[in-house]
């Protein structure tokens, strides 16, 4: 059992012990206490069993037991010590030979025994009270002194290395100087260089900021202090500042070391923002952090690494040179980075031989490192669930869908009309993707419900671009309009299934007009891009454009959406046959892949002639193998028939050879006759 659990149980054990002692001493009240006259009157009639006489100077203490009916009862009495009483007691107890008499000298009785009998209960009670009081103090006042201590966790030996971090080669190059400095600071000081005191890692969630910080500590082989920004701030003002001081004090004792602050925006938000002037505790904590990083004193050998996905809300004083000198952006990985990340996370996975991590990386644009790790983990879980020994491509395909949209809701049943509507809706997206030049490539189309969606298209960019153009955004909006247009063209009605498509299209169109200058309003930014990070930030300040411009912005957004809608409608009407072909196969199969879609476009069916030929050959081979197995089994079961068949075959072979020999002889004779003529 854990020692802490034992200590927590001690008060209960003491309370139970005290209750037992009290009960024991309470049972002592059952002893009959005679006075001298009463004992003298009743002694002749009592049947004594055991008697102890303590011979004092003036008093004889008598205690023992006597028979009281069917039970035995204790008694005690004090008799004055006279010669007559000594003689009387001796004669009284000698009458009954069954009585056991013990004569004790009162002067030889242990002083310690007397002391313990009289004082021990009070000692136990006092000790229990003192123990309980100390425990109460430990839970209150003593912990009050630890309340202001730093909660940073220290790890001395980090096992993470750069080989465990993939998809961020440029970011690794940026932090290599920190590793060199921690290993050999003299090289930098001799050159007069000052290593950055702090590095701020910025990027979307799941891109590996914490993992990269650990890898820096692992490569440098220095202690690693890790703490979250929320661990500083408490309800009591001044606690966070005290914890910051304590953290840097501990870090100095372990220098050189790395202090990693995760989610620093929890404590480093801009001061003075918000209704009412901000938060005193958070601002005091931030002030202390600013002082410790670049105040009056120096923290030699301490490198601060912080991570956040909200750099826009951080205080400017925190980001200036001398504090966080270097800002490293950890972006979502590209195709090559995703492939490297998948290789790292696939080390301990049992993958089937036909799995291509490169094609998997191509199908997962926009996935972070955490998402990719989750895909492989979900695939492993699915393989275990289906009792397979290897992870197959089907498992990973389902895992991608789960990470993106959630598990398939196979129990959700469509009506026949709804199923056709969803099939044509998804087929509309697919047709736009196939026929529009700048549209994304269609990888898979399904009408199986997932999450809030009734079906979806998995579409990936033909090539990943760093700077998308206006044509790319227009193609995205056109593709999003494909489902709604297909419903309108084929059923002359529209459903609520396109709500998410409309939301995404509107967001892109707004950004094109307000942020990217991709409209007739010109290259002017009408969106300040800061957003209301806090309640009260820019409170009361109006928009930076007039109402007339707002009207023009709405017109431009509507113009973009309508233009893309008209283009989608023209493509759908021009390719109704392809739309119907894809939709009808979707209704039948529920899910079709990019290869099957290409076969539909080329051959009008899901399989190509080559695939059908390979399938037919596989069927013929299977039939032949089955025949051979049946023949072998029959021969094993009927060996006599096998011998007869062999004999028949030999006879036929002999007859064949004789006929061949006769034919050759006749041919020679004929040849000889012709030559003579």
Cα dihedral across residues 418, 421, 426, 429: positive or negative: negative
Show which residues are catalytic. Answer: 426
pLDDT, position 28: 47
DSSP assignment of 536-570 equals TTTTT---SS-HHHHHHHHHHHHHHHHHHHHHHHH
- Label each residue of 465-524 as H, E or C: CCCCCHHHHHHHHHHHHHHHHHHHHHHCCCCHHHHHHHHHHHHHHHHHHHCCCCCCCCCC
206 is in an annotated binding site: yes
User: Is position 205 annotated in a ligand binding site?
Assistant: yes
Q: CA 362, CA 338: separation in Å to the nearest integer?
A: 8
Higher pLDDT, 191 or 432: 432
Asked if residue 433 belongs to a known ligand binding site, the reply is: no
The answer to whether the predicted template modeling score (pTM) of the entire model surpasses 0.85 is: no
How many CB atoms lie under 10 A from the CB of residue 325? 16
Between CA 89 and CA 62 the distance in angstroms is 10
Say if residue 605 is exposed, middle or buried (CB neighbours under 10 Å; 0-12, 13-18, 19+): middle
Helices and strands (H, E) in the chain, number of each type:
23, 14
* Residue 81 half-sphere exposure toward CB, CA atoms < 13 A: 11
Distance, CA of 343 to CA of 514 (rounded, Å): 41
Longest dimension (CA), the chain: 178
- The phi and psi torsions of 155 (rounded to 5 degrees) equal -120, 125
pLDDT at 508: 93
Q: Is the pLDDT of residue 325 over 70?
A: yes
Give the model confidence (pLDDT) of 482-500 as tens digits. Answer: 999 999 999 888 888 888 8
Structure confidence at residue 571 as a pLDDT band (50, 70, 90): very high
Q: Taking Cα atoms as reference points, which of 455, 452, 456 lies closest to residue 440?
A: 456
Q: Is the dihedral of CA 38, 43, 48, 52 positive or negative?
A: positive
| pLDDT single digits (tens) 514-540 | 988 898 888 888 876 544 444 444 444
Question: What does the pLDDT average to over 613-640?
Answer: 73
What is the C-alpha to C-alpha distance for residues 261 and 424, in angstroms, rounded to an integer? Answer: 51
**Which DSSP helix (H) or strand (E) runs through 169?**
helix 169-183
From residue 445, how far is each of 212, 324, 523, 586 by CA, in Å?
37, 47, 38, 8
Q: Around Cβ 333, how many Cβ atoms within 10 Å?
A: 26
Contact 514, 463 (CB under 8 A): no
- State the sign of the Cα–Cα–Cα–Cα dihedral 436, 440, 444, 445: negative
Are the C-beta atoms of residues 267 and 240 closer than 8 Å to each other?
A: yes
Short-list 436, 441, 480, 481, CA closest to 574: 436
Ligand-binding site membership of 87 (annotated): no
- Is 345 labeled as ligand-binding? no
- Range 509-518 contact pairs with CB under 8 angstroms and sequence separation of 24 or more: 509/477, 509/557, 509/560, 509/561, 510/557, 512/470, 512/473, 512/560, 513/553, 513/556, 513/557, 513/560, 514/553, 516/470, 518/470, 518/473
Backbone angles phi, psi at 524, to 5 degrees: -125, 135
207 annotated as belonging to a binding site for a ligand: yes
pLDDT digits (tens, 9 = 90+) for 169-182: 888 888 888 888 88
Of 492, 468, 472, 485, residue with least CA distance to 429: 485
pLDDT at residue 144 tops 50: no
357 versus 122: the higher-pLDDT residue is: 357
167 is in an annotated binding site: no
Predicted local distance difference test score (pLDDT) of residue 503: 92
Is the peptide bond between 256 and the residue preceding it cis, with omega within 30 degrees of 0? yes
Confidence check: pLDDT of 472 > 70 = yes
Task: Please tell me whether 429 is known to bind a ligand.
Answer: yes
- Is 501 among the annotated ligand-binding positions? yes
Backbone CA torsion sign across 373, 377, 380, 382: negative
SS3 257: strand
Average pLDDT over residues 237-257: 80
């Amino acid at each position: 059992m854990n020692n802490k659990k034992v200590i927590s149980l001690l008060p209960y054990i003491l309370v139970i012990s005290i209750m037992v002692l009290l009960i024991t001493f309470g049972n002592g009240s059952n002893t009959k206490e005679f006075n001298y006259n009463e004992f003298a009157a009743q002694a002749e009639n009592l049947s004594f069993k055991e008697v102890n006489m303590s011979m004092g100077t003036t008093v004889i203490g008598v205690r023992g037991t006597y028979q009281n009916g069917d039970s035995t009862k204790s008694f005690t009495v004090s008799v004055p010590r006279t010669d007559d009483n000594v003689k009387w007691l001796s004669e009284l107890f000698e009458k009954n030979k069954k009585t056991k008499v013990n004569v004790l000298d009162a002067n030889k009785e242990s002083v310690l025994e007397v002391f313990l009998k009289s004082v021990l209960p009070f000692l136990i009670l006092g000790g229990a009270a003192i123990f309980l009081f100390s425990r109460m103090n430990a839970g209150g006042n003593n912990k009050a002194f630890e309340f202001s201590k730093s909660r940073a966790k220290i790890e001395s030996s980090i096992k993470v290395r750069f080989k465990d971090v993939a998809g961020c080669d440029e970011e690794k190059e940026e932090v290599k100087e920190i590793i060199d400095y921690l290993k050999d600071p003299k090289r930098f000081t001799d050159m007069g260089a000052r290593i950055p005191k702090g590095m701020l890692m910025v990027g979307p969630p799941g891109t590996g900021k914490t993992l990269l910080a650990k890898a820096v500590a692992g490569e440098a082989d220095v202690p690693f202090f890790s703490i979250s920004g929320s661990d500083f701030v408490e309800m009591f003002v001044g606690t966070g500042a005290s914890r910051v001081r304590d953290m840097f004090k501990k870090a100095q004792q372990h220098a050189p070391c790395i202090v990693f602050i995760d989610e620093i925006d929890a404590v480093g938000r801009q001061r003075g923002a918000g209704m009412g002037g901000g938060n005193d505790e958070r601002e005091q904590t931030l002030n202390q952090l600013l002082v410790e990083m670049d105040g009056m004193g120096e923290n030699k050998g301490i490198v601060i690494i912080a991570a956040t996905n909200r750099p826009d809300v951080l205080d400017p004083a925190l980001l200036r040179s001398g504090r966080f000198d270097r800002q490293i952006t950890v972006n979502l990985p590209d195709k090559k980075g995703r492939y490297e990340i998948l290789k790292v996370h696939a080390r301990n996975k049992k993958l089937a031989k036909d799995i291509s991590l490169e094609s998997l990386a191509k199908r997962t644009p926009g996935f972070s490192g955490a998402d990719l790790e989750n895909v492989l983990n979900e695939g492993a879980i699915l393989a275990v669930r289906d009792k397979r020994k290897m992870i197959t491509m089907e498992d990973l395909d389902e895992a991608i869908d789960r990470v993106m949209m959630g598990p398939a809701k196979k129990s959700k049943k469509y009506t026949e009309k709804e199923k056709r509507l969803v099939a044509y809706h998804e087929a509309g997206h697919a047709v736009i993707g196939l026929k529009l030049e700048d549209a994304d490539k269609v990888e898979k189309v399904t009408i199986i419900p997932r999450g809030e969606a009734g079906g979806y298209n998995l579409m990936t960019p033909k090539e990943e671009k760093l700077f998308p153009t206006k044509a790319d955004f227009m193609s995205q909006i056109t593709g999003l309009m494909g489902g709604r247009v297909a419903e309108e063209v084929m059923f002359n009605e529209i459903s609520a299934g396109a709500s998410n498509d409309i939301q995404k299209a509107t967001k892109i169109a707004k950004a094109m007009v307000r942020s990217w200058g991709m409209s007739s309003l010109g290259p002017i930014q009408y969106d300040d891009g800061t957003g209301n990070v806090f309640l009260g930030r820019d409170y009361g300040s109006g928009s930076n454009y007039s109402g007339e411009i707002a009207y023009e912005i709405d017109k431009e957004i509507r113009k973009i959406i309508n233009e893309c809608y008209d283009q989608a409608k023209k493509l759908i009407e021009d390719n109704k046959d392809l739309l119907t072909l894809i939709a009808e196969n979707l209704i039948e199969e529920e899910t079709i892949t990019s290869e099957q879609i290409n076969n539909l476009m080329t051959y009008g069916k899901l399989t190509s002639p080559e695939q059908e030929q390979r399938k037919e050959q596989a069927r013929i081979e299977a039939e032949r193998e089955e025949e051979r197995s049946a023949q072998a089994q029959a021969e094993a079961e009927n060996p006599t028939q096998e011998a007869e068949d062999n004999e028949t075959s030999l006879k036929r072979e002999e007859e064949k050879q004789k006929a061949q020999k006769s034919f050759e002889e006749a041919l020679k004779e004929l040849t000889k006759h012709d030559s003579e003529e």
